[in-house]
Structure 1
């Protein structure tokens, strides 16, 4: 793969597979104070050549309750419909479409999770659908909030929300399942820092309890000019045990915490299931 994989400034890339096609849903970057308003979608069959499907959701025209801070989209298919969880005004919304390319429409007309619903920032959503068909929502900066979603994918029982704050946790929870082990990964430090990085813990259940922090799996490589690596996602190649990690880094050259670009690398596991650091 040739990095960066997308043109321009993008961040917080969510990589997902529908059928035999990979889709990327990133934050549109390059704005002061991360003040973008639009989400775009990209698709590829080889992780190298990407088709831009244009704007799939615009806060200014499609969302009545939030006009700015379009961050960290996360997409998933359920029962033939496509759900996009996203940030606006530091709250979390959900939109729905009949196609992974959208257009997406607001499913609730209000936030799924209000900005003041829990302590810390209500940002960075992610959804895992387990092998039994049950889906789980993860989110939060400052703490990792975790809860089963109802079958409608747009509601949950607040009494079932769990909170996990591992050593070093800042934001961007992401969960995968491999061989019966659930891997919870997250970003540490500030996205404006060259030391932004990804660490992980494991469990036998999508809601934990989680192990102690197992270590860092993605970090800067100063010798190659790679800095600020984080806010990642992970996807498995269809029908294989090949895994890929998408993440943002400071744009090369001259990037910073608001001028980032999307990269993709292989993610490897040891024989005992540990994640091998990317760098």
Structure 2
């Protein structure tokens, strides 16, 4: 334990002692509090979907750290305060549980209807759906095939998100390179392919996520490549789940002064009984992460008086 730059540091024994002007001794009189509040879940995770379900917040991320993003398992975490998270373990394992895919388990999302939870996920560049009576599974595949197969439309069929409007209608959004949406049928596991819409969004790359505040619909999405430090979040607003969309610009981007790179692939949640909102996203793991070694964090999402979103201040 050493003192450096007005901070107390815990360092490995391999640290060069010349880095420090002098050693110091301390008597600890209060519990140790880490300087960083994130990542909110320990380990390498990305593409977080955050949702408030049954009195708790839930996070459903991509399990990260694999070359080529080749992971095969999905986990779930839950919290009552967005700070302390419970690890619920693996809720879906592609290999033994999904007959049509066994790798590239990416970017899940969750929805709820009629006492069932619907878990939408990317696998082998297709989109699948699994169901459960619990937000932490176990989940099972009711279709035995992709809901949105690879090649269904231009680009990769990945990054699903389900938005349920105040009238109870649910919509599936997805896309990489092009953005798509379609109303889901009441069973939540099918749709009419003739109703698929394609959106033209400036700079769109992937990760469409829609939420509604008041009468305004917000479509957030990620720009650039997840392997780039310039990966960031832009958004548009509209008067319906289909828009038409008015581009509003960037709300989340890198901060190199803090070592924050590639902050994006976002999701948004509203705290119950309030107008407090939060954005979950991933960034390069600090200090030595990259596009396949990422970590998940959460920051407040704030609005201006006219309903536009204030730039998010990424924090450590």
- Taking structure 2 as the reference length, the TM-score comes to 0.87
Report what 2:5 is aligned to: none
| SS of match in other structure, 1:269 | coil
Q: 2-side partners of 1:79 and 1:25: how far apart?
A: 21
Report what 1:219 is aligned to: 253
In structure 2, stretches of 5+ residues that fail to align are 1-35
- How well do the aligned residues superpose, as a CA RMSD in angstroms? 0.8
Write the deviation string for residues 169-189 of structure 1: whole angstroms up to 9, x where unpaired: 000000000011000010000
Report what 1:241 is aligned to: 275
Report what 2:192 is aligned to: 157
Write the deviation string for residues 177-216 of structure 1: whole angstroms up to 9, x where unpaired: 00110000100000000000000001110111111x2110
1:37 and 2:72 correspond:
yes
Report what 1:86 is aligned to: 121
Q: How does 1:1-279 map to 2 (within 5 A)?
A: 2-211=37-246, 213-279=247-313
CA contact (8 A) 1:147 1:207 kept: no
Q: C-alpha displacement at 1:147, in angstroms?
A: 0.7
| SS of match in other structure, 1:159 | helix
Matched length: 278
Q: 1-side partners of 2:99 and 2:178: how far apart?
A: 27
Q: C-alpha displacement at 1:20, in angstroms?
A: 2.1
In structure 1, stretches of 5+ residues that fail to align are none
Q: 2-side partners of 1:54 and 1:198: how far apart?
A: 29
Report what 2:8 is aligned to: none
Which of these two proteins has the greater Rg computed from alpha carbons? Answer: 2
| SS of match in other structure, 1:105 | coil
Q: C-alpha displacement at 1:7, in angstroms?
A: 1.1
| SS of match in other structure, 2:302 | strand
Q: 2-side partners of 1:207 and 1:168: how far apart?
A: 18
Q: 2-side partners of 1:177 and 1:34: how far apart?
A: 31
